[in-house]
Chain A
Amino acid sequence: GIQVEQSPPDLILQEGANSTLRCNFSDSVNNLQWFHQNPWGQLINLFYIPSGTKQNGRLSATTVATERYSLLYISSSQTTDSGVYFCAGPVAGKGGSEKLVFGKGTKLTVNP
């Protein structure tokens, strides 16, 4: 099955700094997604980005499907950005569904 690798595994920033998180896939994907899990465990879908670039406030994401990677950019980081960032890609599941396979995540800590 598809392998999803995220880097770096841990990242510590000072408030206001910028960062780039990377997600590599072992196979082509057609609906890659980025999630943020806050310290309370809630998973928020940040981007559905099969290809190209999308922006949402201080966050943006770029997926280069032909090269099997995606990047998540965080600009002017804030303490509320802390948590774990996951990327996930689909693989064919049982019964005709698509299941999301998650990477191990990047744990981001933003210090004031």
Chain B
Amino acid sequence: SAVISQKPSRDICQRGTSLTIQCQVDSQVTMMFWYRQQPGQSLTLIATANQGSEATYESGFVIDKFPISRPNLTFSTLTVSNMSPEDSSIYLCSVEPGLRTKRFFGPGTRLTVL
């Protein structure tokens, strides 16, 4: 299993600003995944982050809007840039501790943009 923490747990931000979300895992993992969950919706993958390489983004998500860092095997950050009210969502990081095993999720960051 994996224990994942995220900071902040929630935030209220003004439009046009940026917020950086941190994800910390209690064990080394190769890949970390960032998801967005808009209100009342399912989860959508934003990007996959490997240590030592650039993140790979899913269709509809771009690096300028959601820059990701992955400095080591236990930590990653996601920045939501130039925010608008449409960015109001829960942002979750996820890991897969072993190949083709359970995926685990952090507690999420609940973001509200005014």
Contact = CB atoms under 8 A, between A and B. Distances in A.
Interface of A: 30-31, 33, 35, 41-43, 45, 48, 86, 88, 93-95, 97-100, 102-105
B110 A94 contact: no
Nearest to B41: A104
Given A41-B108, A41-B110, A103-B42, A95 B103 contact: no
Interface string B44-62: 1100101001001010000
Contact of B42 (A31, A41, A104): A104
A86 B94 CA distance: 15
Identify which of A42, A43, A97, A104 gathers the most chain B CB atoms within 10 Å of its CB: A43
B25 interface: no
Point out which of B41, B48, B58, B90 has the most chain A C-beta atoms below 10 A from its C-beta.
B48
B107 A42 contact: yes
A95 B55 CA distance: 9
Main SS of chain B's interface residues? strand
B66 interface: no
A31 B100 CA distance: 7
Interface in B80-111: 90, 92, 94, 100-105, 107-108, 110
A105 B50 CA distance: 28
A43 B42 contact: no
A100 B94 CA distance: 10
A98 B48 CA distance: 9
12 contacts: A41-B107, A42-B105, A42-B107, A42-B108, A43-B105, A88-B103, A94-B48, A95-B50, A97-B31, A98-B100, A99-B33, A102-B42
Contacts of A100: 33, 45, 94, 103
B3 interface: no
A42 B110 CA distance: 11
B45 A48 contact: no
A94 B48 CA distance: 8
Contacts of B44: 102
A30 B100 CA distance: 9
B114 interface: no
